[in-house]
Amino acid sequence: MSYSLKVCHLYGDLMNTYGDIGNILVLKHLAEQMGVELESEVISLDQEFNKDKYDIVIFGGGQDFEQSIISKDIQNKKAALTDFIEDDGSMVAICGGYQLLGHYYIGANGEKLEGIGALDHYTKKQENNRFIGNVLIENKETGEKYRGFENHQGITFLGEGERPLGNVLEGYGNNGEDKTEGAIYKNVYCTYFHGPILARNNQIAKHVLMNALTRKYPNEDLTQQKELQVSETF
């Protein structure tokens, strides 16, 4: 049996701060070691998101300007993206992408950008401040630690059904108040970690791949894939 997974790089041409696209390279590399062929394509403005075509969605971060354009376009993809998420589709959403999966994001200039409300968080603005720097977090359920770099003005508060990606040990995280960073909802991983978060945190990449494989091949023995050793955070 040969396995394959298809990745949608959502707004990959607009939302790619600090090389978020590297996450797809990491997924491809680990997938190959699991005997899985992984392909990706960009879906952007005015294009349909076909939820049945993809196993994984990667939604990167971006500046307020790009977000203001996407905030409008993504309303046309809202139903399909919400169905994909509710149907246990795998997703990684970073910073600006994370913000737009929630109810709204207030930009640095005070403009309210609508999200799709597929996840129950919301993002307010800070007064003349950004959270910038290295972050270290720990996921309570797995005990895994993750490292990343954050650069955001928005502060996010989690809602119903969401649990944090991790608790903040160093840095600011979602809002600098409640010591949470990122969010997990079903098979969606959200984070403020920029750049290729999956390169520094192979364990998250493995969870994303395993979730996608288990969903697509529910009756297959995936023991070999599960046993792939990946590096811990660095």
In whole angstroms, the minimum distance from the beta carbon of 54 to ligand GLN comes to 22
Assign 3-class secondary structure to 150-207: EEECCEEECCCCCECCEEEEECCCCCCCCCEECEEECCEEEECCCCCHHHHCHHHHHH
Verify binding: residue 17, ligand GLN, rule CB under 6 A: yes
In whole angstroms, the minimum distance from the beta carbon of 15 to ligand GLN comes to 7
CA distance 203 to 209: 10
**190 in catalytic set:** no
In whole angstroms, the minimum distance from the beta carbon of 123 to ligand GLN comes to 7
Q: What's the DSSP call for residue 132? A: E
Please identify which of the residues 9, 121, 152, 194 carries the catalytic annotation: 194
Per-residue burial over 125-139, b = 16 or more CB atoms within 10 Å of its CB, e = otherwise? beeeeebeeebebbb
For residue 138, the surrounding DSSP H or E stretch is strand 131-138
CA distance 211 to 71: 28
Verify binding: residue 195, ligand GLN, rule CB under 6 A: no
3 state DSSP class of 216:
helix
Q: In the stretch 56-95, what mask flags binding to ligand GLN with x, by CB under 6 A?
A: -----xxxx--x---------------------------x
Is 51 or 200 the residue whose CB approaches ligand GLN more closely?
A: 200
Verify binding: residue 153, ligand GLN, rule CB under 6 A: yes
Place of tokens 């971006």: 62
Q: How many beta carbons lie within 10 A of that of residue 33, not counting itself?
A: 12
Is 118 or 190 the residue whose CB approaches ligand GLN more closely?
A: 190
In whole angstroms, the minimum distance from the beta carbon of 174 to ligand GLN comes to 11
**95 in catalytic set:** yes
Please identify which of the residues 8, 95, 152, 190 carries the catalytic annotation: 95
Q: How many beta carbons lie within 10 A of that of residue 4, not counting itself?
A: 13
To the question of whether residue 147 is assigned a binding role by annotation, the answer is no
Is 91 or 213 the residue whose CB approaches ligand GLN more closely?
A: 91
Is 151 or 203 the residue whose CB approaches ligand GLN more closely?
A: 151
Q: Which stretch binds ligand GLN (CB under 6 A): 28-36, 150-158, 164-172, 209-217?
A: 150-158
230: alpha, beta or left? (left if phi > 0; alpha if psi -120 to 50) = beta
- Catalytic positions, written as ranges: 95, 194
Q: Which residues bind ligand GLN (CB under 6 A)?
A: 17, 61-64, 67, 95-96, 151-154
